[in-house]
Amino acid sequence: MSPSPLVPDRRRFLRLFVAMTAAWFAGFRFFGVDDQAAAQALLAASDPDTAGAHRRPPAPTPDCDDDAPTPSMTEGPFFTPHSPERTSLLEPGMPGTRMVLSGRVVSRGCTPIAGALVDFWHADDEGEYDNEGFRLRGHQFTDAQGRYRLETIVPGLYSGRTRHFHVKVQARGGRVLTTQLYFPDEASNSRDRIFRPDLLMAVRDGQRGKDARFNFVLRTA
């Protein structure tokens, strides 16, 4: 009986497979350190779980510090009690750069404080305070998530002080925090004797003026 025509082809395939296997082992044997690192990186990139881990974004930064309650500051001579309850201090024709200040009131454990009083007052665009009425003065209460939002203008400068907001914050039945908020990148910050960098707001340009954020951390029982 004549040999099957498939036998020579099978033998050639086996010889080719053996040769290729030997060559592969020889190449792996002489792999350099850099080549091995590259190969591992290539394998990692081909692994969906590993590659996904490299692409995951970092964990968000907490928005409060358990050990750093918001520091208090002097009230100043211009506080007027019984300001109107309102979330906007803007009035028709009021000059100045529009600004929205928002944030949260939380405890030292980052728990939102609902119904907290937040009372703001500040100078107008020319650095003047209204000490007879309630222009650029007003208070509000935080919502269930401890959030507040104020529409106002960027205050002007006056002699001896840098640009700032005055504010009183109080949880229901708690102590009153009286403090001030400051603007970053103000040349006058370094000349203000009571300026504190830990009371700087995060300020950026918005669609209609400035957007600012600040979270108040209160000492609570």
Whether 42 and 130 share a structural domain: no
The strand pair at 117-121 and 137-141 is best described as antiparallel
pLDDT digits (tens, 9 = 90+) for 85-112: 999 999 999 999 999 999 999 999 899 9
Please say if the pLDDT value at position 165 is more than 60: yes
pLDDT of 64: 62
pLDDT digits (tens, 9 = 90+) for 203-219: 999 888 999 999 999 99
Q: Among positive and negative, which fits the CA dihedral 171, 62, 215, 163?
A: positive
Angle, in degrees to the nearest 10, between helices 48-55 and 33-46: 90
pLDDT digits (tens, 9 = 90+) for 18-43: 444 444 444 433 333 344 443 344 33
Whether 106 and 211 share a structural domain: yes
Is 63 within a domain?
no
What's the mean pLDDT in 185-199?
97
Is 104 within a domain?
yes
Number of domains in the chain: 2
Is 160 within a domain?
yes
Please say if the pLDDT value at position 45 is more than 70: no
Whether 102 and 51 share a structural domain: no
What is the band of 66 on the pLDDT scale with cuts at 50, 70, 90? Answer: low
Is 66 within a domain?
no
Maximum mean pLDDT: which of 18-22, 72-76, 119-123: 119-123
pLDDT of 8: 46
Is 144 within a domain?
yes
What's the mean pLDDT in 69-92?
96
pLDDT of 33: 36
Q: Which of 21-35, 129-143, 150-164 has the lowest mean pLDDT?
A: 21-35
Whether 184 and 110 share a structural domain: yes
Other Cβ atoms less than 10 A from the Cβ of 101: the count is 21
The CA-to-CA distance between both ends of the chain, in Å, stands at: 101
Is 84 within a domain?
no
What's the mean pLDDT in 46-67?
44
pLDDT of 34: 40
User: How many CA atoms, within 13 angstroms, populate the side-chain half-sphere of residue 181?
Assistant: 25
pLDDT of 95: 97
Is 73 within a domain?
no
CATH number, position 179: 2.60.130.10
CA dist 101 → 25, 29, 145, 165, 186 (Å):
66, 64, 16, 10, 17
Whether 41 and 106 share a structural domain: no
Domain range enclosing 26: 6-55
Is 116 within a domain?
yes
Rounded to whole angstroms, the Cα distance separating 69 from 110 reads: 10
